[in-house]
Chains A and B, each alone.
Chain A
Amino acid sequence: MAVAEQGLLDIRRGEGQWVVVATGVWDISTLPSLDDAVRKIAPDRGDKVRIDMSGIDKLDSAGAWVLFRLRQRLQDEGYDADVEGLRPEHAGLFANISSAKDVPELQKAKFRPVLHMLEHVGRRTFQMASEARDLLSFFGEICFAVAYVLTHPRRIKLVPVINQMEQVGLNALPIVGLLAFLIGVVLAFQGADQLARFGAEIYTVNLLGVSFLREIGILITSIIIAGRSGSAFTAQIGTMKVNEEIDAMSALGLSPIQLLVLPRLLALILVLPLLGFYADIMGLIGGAIMSMFVLDISVARFIEQLNGALSMWTFWIGIIKAPFFAFVIAMIGCFNGLKVAGSAESVGMMTTKAVVQAIFLVIVLDAVFSILFSYLKI
């Protein structure tokens, strides 16, 4: 390559003639400086125009396009615009790109903020409505599948259920235990701090016991499990959807609901109350240790105080909620997994959605339970 890597555009005028002379390298690296000059070429009316390409050493499709566009424009404006000196090896390029002029501009919709916002709101409203309907229909499908399995007990496959129980239950023990313990510590410390002001330190134990057993233990567990297992359900089923495994199942006459959704659902319903109980215990241990150090309440005293503060119902109110939370988390996780469409990006989007929806619904459900229990005066 003796020639410098440069493209040149020269215009020779004279005696009613315009010659556009392109020389050197016309490729994607030299075009940024050439393109504007090419666009500005505007010959005098009535002149003859020629495009001389004999001096071009290197031409790529982008360079060919810029020259082709020039010729096209000049011809549209009524000039002859003959091309000269086109090398035979470059001729194919022109043949290839000649129809590019028919491609419409890559559409960039004009940005209209108000309209855009309105459209967005409308679209999301419809989306939410249709999603709610889909979720309801999914709930119906689950009910049918449960009914079917109950009437055909041999259809129940225990191995996947146990496998899922290990994944969502056993493997979650460390994180659930640690977080519940830490929250017990924090709660005891904050409670002691406030209650000490009117000398009621001992009621830290009541505060801790009641709030943990009724609400916090199961809520924390559910939120962790929604983040940990709800997302996993969506990602697992979603990836299978992308790989067309779900379609393969249906084609083989297997029901994805029975094979994928029910085991996860059942496993979580069985495991979440146990995890909630475990979180309660860990939280109380955290609180007891904190009370021992900060308030000098011995473990025996702690237990005695706790015994007086709690009834059996305090415990049951927490645990009763667990299967419902489990159902919501598993259903939302599987539902979003089955809604994955097409791409890897969709898996990520649906996973995020599943976690947010599951946590949201768990808290809403918890509020509903609170109202219900206050009516029942428990």
Chain B
Amino acid sequence: MAQQALVTADQQREAVPEPVIRVRGLRNQFGTQVVHDNLDLDVRKGEVLGVVGGSGSGKSVLLRTIIGLRRQQAGTVEIMGRDTSKLTERDAKDLRAQWGVLFQDGALFSSLSVAENIQVPLKEYTKLSRRLMDEVTRVKIVMTGLPADAAVKFPSELSGGMRKRAGLARALALDPNILFLDEPTAGLDPIGAANFDQLIGTLQQSLGLTVFMVTHDLDSLIAICDRIAVLIDKKIVVGTIKELLKLDHPWIQEYFRGPRARAAFGE
């Protein structure tokens, strides 16, 4: 039965031309501990993919491998058709301008104000005039729902939710095609988390983003994810929630049928 669902996912995959991210035969290990083994994953253009898995199943490692912070032991990662391990320094830089990353706690540069944080990628990658750059910065601040006075504040003066929004504003500075989010709603209160979900949903639709989101938040999985990738047994199973529910792997069943999941589904 598991096999069957995977096949349907594969068939769907063929209908879509070129995936934005294509991972093949990925192997990651720390010492003798293998985290990923022969892992395949496709992320389609314009979708929101939620990545879930138990603690230590290598969700963040996968994200770090895809964005090139970690070199895999085997396998390939292709982003927009380009193998990330075979890029020249310059091509790699161009590619990095195509994606934005929101780290878990925002990872803002603590010595820079929010506005300056947003301007770091703008200064590095664009030739905007001073005036237009300030305007674009303001646009990003508004887009991510930060209050106007946040621009001149420093990261240590912001609340956790605002730091995430500021991190998102920096990730979106260049209007990337792909957005990587590492647990975007962790540590936010339910209202803040729901707002953040909504924000990502709207931005994704209006900017046509492809979103790769590591999360544990069942509500956001249901609210904004088109498909869900489950990391189990060093591999990945992808599907919509309905498809995943048909699989009888114990972890998946427990995850999507547990009391919290039932509450999230509104059953």
Chain A contacts to B: CB under 8 angstroms: 27-29, 31-32, 35-36, 60-62, 65-66, 69, 89-93, 95-97, 99-100, 102-107, 341-346
Contact = CB atoms under 8 A, between A and B. Distances in A.
Interface stretch (B30-38, B56-64, B148-156): B148-156
B30 to A, nearest CB: 24
Contacts of B115: 106
B127 interface: yes
A60 B203 CA distance: 11
Contacts of A105: 134
The 6 A-B residue pairs with the shortest CB-CB distance in the complex, in nearest-first order: A92-B206, A342-B156, A60-B175, A343-B110, A100-B142, A103-B148
A35 B115 CA distance: 21
B175 A103 contact: no
B206 A95 contact: yes
B165 interface: no
20 contacts: A28-B125, A28-B128, A28-B174, A31-B126, A32-B128, A35-B128, A36-B129, A60-B175, A61-B207, A62-B136, A62-B175, A66-B132, A69-B135, A100-B141, A100-B143, A102-B148, A106-B115, A106-B134, A342-B156, A343-B110
A60 B135 contact: no
B127 A65 contact: no
B126 A29 contact: yes
B140 interface: yes
Interface residues of B, number: 35
Majority SS at the chain B contact face: helix
Contact of A100 (B127, B132, B139, B206): B139
Contacts of A346: 156
A96 B202 contact: yes
Contacts of B127: 32
Nearest to B111: A345
Nearest to A98: B142
Given A32-B132, A62-B132, A106-B137, 7 more contacts: A28-B126, A35-B132, A60-B207, A65-B135, A66-B132, A97-B139, A104-B148
Interface string B155-175: 110000000000000001011
Contacts, number: 93
A252 to B, nearest CB: 22
Nearest to B141: A103
Given A32-B129, A89-B208, A92-B205, A65 B110 contact: no
Contacts of A65: 135-136, 139
B45 interface: no
A82 B254 CA distance: 55
A252 B151 CA distance: 37
B24 interface: no
Interface-centre pick from A31, A69, A96 (highest chain B CB count, 10 A): A96
B138 interface: yes
Contacts of B206: 89-93, 95-96
Contacts of B174: 28
A345 to B, nearest CB: 5
A105 B151 CA distance: 10
A34 to B, nearest CB: 10
A61 B129 contact: no
Nearest to B173: A28
A106 B114 CA distance: 11
A332 to B, nearest CB: 24
Interface-centre pick from A32, A62, A69, A345 (highest chain B CB count, 10 A): A62
Contacts of B125: 28
A343 B111 contact: yes
A95 B205 CA distance: 12
Given A92-B206, A345-B111, A106 B138 contact: yes
Nearest to A99: B142
Given A29-B126, A345-B110, A103 B138 contact: yes
A225 to B, nearest CB: 29
Contacts of B126: 28-29, 31-32
Contacts of A60: 175, 207
A62 B152 contact: no
Contacts of A62: 128, 132, 136, 139, 175
A11 B168 CA distance: 36
Nearest to B137: A106
A346 to B, nearest CB: 8
A282 to B, nearest CB: 41
A94 to B, nearest CB: 9
Given A61-B139, A62-B175, A93-B206, A344 B132 contact: no
Contacts of B205: 92
A32 B156 CA distance: 33
B129 A106 contact: no
Contacts of A345: 110-111
A361 B86 CA distance: 57
A86 B221 CA distance: 32
A161 to B, nearest CB: 34
A342 B122 CA distance: 26
B156 A341 contact: yes
A32 B152 CA distance: 25
A347 to B, nearest CB: 10
B151 A106 contact: yes
Contacts of B110: 342-345
Interface in B202-232: 202-203, 205-208
A107 B152 CA distance: 8
B128 A106 contact: no
Nearest to A66: B132
B208 to A, nearest CB: 7
B199 to A, nearest CB: 10
